[in-house]
A = this chain, B = another copy of it.
């Protein structure tokens, strides 16, 4: 979905009167004067808001005699509401989605029998799998000193400086005033 469509949806829906109209129409169609009455506004004001809601396609109408009934298009509403959740992100992530079997193979190849890291993978995908593995022993939500991180990494590899840096670059951890902490976003569900 294109950006402007999403912006417009939220701009339109970001108004108390219009959300009230949506809530009213969830219980069934109503005509303009009924809405005006329930909300304590004049018919022209309702016309104005209905036009905006129709522009983003969440309202349609049926006429019966002189009265026009406005209906909510719940399907559309739902679709548009969820668009913001899906926007951006995913840039290249998909191509990095990886199943457990593949992870297992990479870990087996790069660790020796004692669990020591033989080398740091050059290929990004493999590197991420290894970093995820190395980070597993750390506790979520607590902060670590740089020294503690170094000690942790040394269990696997001597070059703790490089790996510590990779933790930050690849966003497995973040640093805050010299303290280290696991990224709580668990976004590396590669």
Chain A residues with a Cβ under 8 A of chain B: 3-4, 6-16, 19-20, 22-24, 26-29, 62-65, 69, 71, 74, 77-78, 81-82, 84-85, 87-91, 171, 174-177, 185
Contact = CB atoms under 8 A, between A and B. Distances in A.
21 contacts: A7-B16, A10-B10, A11-B14, A13-B84, A19-B84, A19-B87, A22-B84, A22-B88, A23-B87, A23-B89, A26-B88, A26-B89, A26-B90, A27-B89, A29-B171, A29-B174, A65-B177, A69-B174, A71-B185, A74-B185, A82-B82
List 10 A-B pairs, minimum CB-CB distance, nearest first.
A23-B88, A26-B89, A11-B14, A10-B14, A14-B14, A26-B88, A10-B13, A10-B10, A62-B176, A7-B16
Contacts of A15: 7, 10-11
B63 A176 contact: yes
Residue of A20, A29, A88 with highest tally of chain B CB at under 10 A = A88
A146 to B, nearest CB: 13
A67 to B, nearest CB: 11
A74 B88 CA distance: 12
Contact of A77 (B3, B9, B22, B84): B84
A131 to B, nearest CB: 15
B81 A82 contact: yes
Contacts of A71: 185
A20 B11 CA distance: 14
A139 to B, nearest CB: 18
